[in-house]
Structure 1
Amino acid sequence: MRCPSCQHEETRVVDSRSTGEGFVIRRRRECALCGFRFTTYERLELSLPQVIKKDGRREPFSREKVISGIRKACHKRPVSEEDIENFVSQLERELFESGDKEVPSTYIGERVMEKLREWDEVAYVRFASVYREFQDVNEFIEQVKHLLKGKSRAGKGRK
């Protein structure tokens, strides 16, 4: 593994931990030349289905693309990087285990929105506003009202 700081090829593993329910190994490494420490992740490579986009195009499932969208929605929100990584690993396993050759992008988007709604309402609304392609502020307001209705129903009966 090349050092990201000095490009030296000799690094050593300082610490290894299993994460993501045992499907991912997190390794802390140190460069033998400059002492720079960095983290790498080793994960099982799965044969995942093609994603069918809204316009009919097909492209390979991209873990990085899903993580990037979630990170943008969760920017400055109380959602940890570990939660995001674990969710996307779980989603990958689910897609792999389904055995499907293709999956609609809408399925992935809806799964992400479910998880964001569970984690943080602001992140959920951020993601939904991009994913659902709201055309104007009224659509956005309707989504927030819908979210608040669900919250008030969940709160009834509690004291």
Structure 2
Amino acid sequence: MRCPFCAHDDSQVKDSRPTEDNTAIRRRRQCEGCGARFTTFERVQLRDVMIVKSGGKDGETRREAFDRGKLEQSVALACRKRGIEQERIDQLISGIQRQVETAGESEIPASRIGEMVMDGLRQLDSVAYIRFASVYRDFSEAKDFEEFASTVQQAGSAGE
């Protein structure tokens, strides 16, 4: 494993243990070049899945490999400053990744992943859900927020 500090190619594993949700192995490593310590995570990847993105400026369809990092980044942004335990966020992300990899398809529309995130955030935190929806559904005016928030409030009061 390449050292993130000095780019030396060799590091030694000092400690290995499963993460709390048992979806990855956490490894503490020490660089043999500079002696710095860093953590890596090893996850099972069942298959390579391509994400199909349509639309954009030119209306063309693009394909790119599923990237857990992008998923983590967008969910983290929606959950920022919400006081949600990192473990619950990690479980949401791992659950979505598992659904994507076990769907049996080599290509999945980005819209399906967006809906999976929306479903997960709806159950996790209503503000994070609205934040994600505002980007995902491309809200352009304040009334878009108001209309969407009112449907969230109605759904919340119907479940009581």
* Count of paired positions: 155
1:122-149 deviation per Cα after TM superposition (whole angstroms, max 9, x unaligned): 1111100000001211111011111111
Taking the TM superposition and a 5 Å limit, the aligned residue runs for 1:68-79 are 68-79=73-84
* 1:126 corresponds to: 131
- 1:109 CA displacement: 0.4
Letter in 1 for 2:111: T
- 1:9 CA displacement: 4.8
What is the SS of the residue equivalent to 1:3?
A: coil
Distance 1:59 1:13 in 2: 32
Do 2:49 and 2:66's aligned partners in 1 also have CA atoms closer than 8 Å? yes
Distance 2:30 2:81 in 1: 30
* CA RMSD, Structure 1 to Structure 2 (Å): 2.2
* 1:4 corresponds to: 4
What is the SS of the residue equivalent to 1:4?
A: coil
Distance 1:52 1:31 in 2: 38
Distance 2:31 2:127 in 1: 40
Matched, 1:82 2:91: no
5+ long unaligned stretches in structure 2: 56-60
- 1:33 CA displacement: 6.1
Do 1:20 and 1:86's aligned partners in 2 also have CA atoms closer than 8 Å? no
Distance 1:118 1:35 in 2: 43
Letter in 1 for 2:25: I
* 2:62 corresponds to: 57
What is the SS of the residue equivalent to 1:124?
A: helix
What is the SS of the residue equivalent to 1:12?
A: strand
Between 1:61-70 and 1:37-46, the stretch displaced more is 37-46
Matched, 1:43 2:43: yes
Letter in 2 for 1:19: T
- 1:35 CA displacement: 4.9
Letter in 2 for 1:132: R
Matched, 1:13 2:13: yes
Distance 2:10 2:66 in 1: 32
- 1:99 CA displacement: 1.0
Letter in 2 for 1:134: F
Between 1:52-61 and 1:29-38, the stretch displaced more is 29-38
Matched, 1:30 2:37: no
Q: State the TM-score, normalizing by the size of structure 2.
A: 0.82
Distance 1:93 1:48 in 2: 12
Distance 1:63 1:146 in 2: 30
